[in-house]
A = this chain, B = another copy of it.
Amino acid sequence: MIMELRHIRYFVAVAEEAHITRAAEKLGIQQPPLSQQIRALETELDVQLFRRLPRGVALTDAGETFLEDARQILKHVEHATAATQRTARGEQGHIVVGFTSSAPFHALFPKVFRSFRSATPLVSMRLEERGTGGLVDGLRNETIDVAFIRSPVADTMGLAVHPLVEEPMVVALPLEHELAEGEDQSINLAVLAGEPFILYRRSVGPGLYDGIITACSHAGFTPEIAQEAPRITSTLNLVAAGLGVSIVPASLRRLQVEGITYRPLSAPSQLTAPINLACRRVENAVATRRFIDMARAAAVAVTPGAP
């Protein structure tokens, strides 16, 4: 014979009743088969678990030992069942969220995390900041589950990209710059021709970079790149230091860098920056799929003029 959970369940019932007939009743079977199963268990273990008394049975010392473990095993089986079902429903698990350094300034970002955390408190999250290339690699080799990126499309095979929000880009100027006067009044991109540009390094954020270059060329000039900053925040610091101007997503204004003024771009050169959510095209983890759904829902909620 080989031990089954049935033996353990039956054993616990008999131990609790100290009476095979009563235990059988409780289990919804007859006394003889229960006696047999208990005996089979004793034979399998090669241990006497009960002493047979004229009015029932009593656990032996070894039976007492087995009872402790038996109860735990049944509890463990229940736990395993519940945990597995929670995981299947996406209520439990772990999710690694990647993002480019410019993403977390957007109001969408905390919104998504807050709603996901409160909806699925048993899913632990890890945040990982990387360049676009690193994020794509992470998604591919399963070290990252979803990534907030600014590249318009992740052309890369096997990955899917969901557009979340689109925000205007604004010109960032040092306070002492001649264009700094008239804050918040829109200016035409063309007036920046000849200005030294500070840009977020292309290798870590090709989406933003290429968008700016393209828009400039549409406006009739090729920007003079004075400096490439390794992180979006350094870009603003360099602008504040007076080393040049930059064009950044409007949400970066949250950073509140001293010595900077922002001006929107006027109509003809409506430069915008997207925030997209990249993930694997085939995603098995329900928790991850739920995260994506909730991020898209939050994006709709955050978009002005959506139904």
Distance in angstroms between the alpha carbons of A80 and B66 in the assembled complex: 6
Per-residue interface assignment for chain A, residues 18 to 49, with 1 indicating a CB less than 8 Å from any chain B CB and 0 otherwise: 00000000000000000000000000011111
Query: How many Å lie between the Cα of A63 and that of B85 in the bound state?
Result: 10
State the CA gap A93–B62 with chains docked (Å).
Answer: 9
A65 at the interface (CB under 8 A from B): yes
Which residues 58-105 in A have Cβ within 8 Å of B in the complex? Answer: 60-66, 69-70, 72-73, 76-77, 79-81, 83-85, 87-88, 92-93
Q: Confirm or deny: A51 has a beta carbon within 8 angstroms of a beta carbon on chain B.
A: yes
A255 interface residue, CB < 8 Å from B? no
**Residues of A in contact, count (CB < 8 Å):** 39
Picked from B45, B73, B80, B87, the residue with its CB within 8 Å of the CB of A84 is B45
A–B complex contacts, Cβ < 8 Å, 21 sampled? A2-B5, A2-B6, A4-B6, A5-B5, A8-B77, A45-B84, A46-B88, A47-B84, A47-B85, A47-B87, A49-B84, A60-B284, A61-B88, A61-B93, A61-B286, A61-B287, A62-B84, A62-B286, A66-B84, A73-B77, A73-B80
Chain multiplicity (copies): 2
Q: Is A179 an interface residue (CB 8 A)?
A: no
The smallest C-beta distance from A192 to any residue of chain B, in angstroms, reads 49
3 closest Cβ contacts across the A-B interface? Answer: A69-B80, A62-B88, A47-B88
Task: List A residues at the B interface (Cβ < 8 Å).
Answer: 2-6, 8, 45-49, 51, 60-66, 69-70, 72-73, 76-77, 79-81, 83-85, 87-88, 92-93, 284-287
CB distance from A277 to the nearest CB of B (A): 19
Q: Give the residue of B4, B5, B69 whose beta carbon is less than 8 angstroms from that of A83.
A: B69
B3 and A81 form a contact (CB under 8 A): yes
Chain B residues contacting A79 (CB-CB under 8 Å) are 69
Nearest residue, chain B, Cβ from A69: B80
A63 cross-chain contacts in B, Cβ below 8 A: 84
The reply to whether A85 and B62 form a contact with Cβ atoms under 8 Å apart is: yes
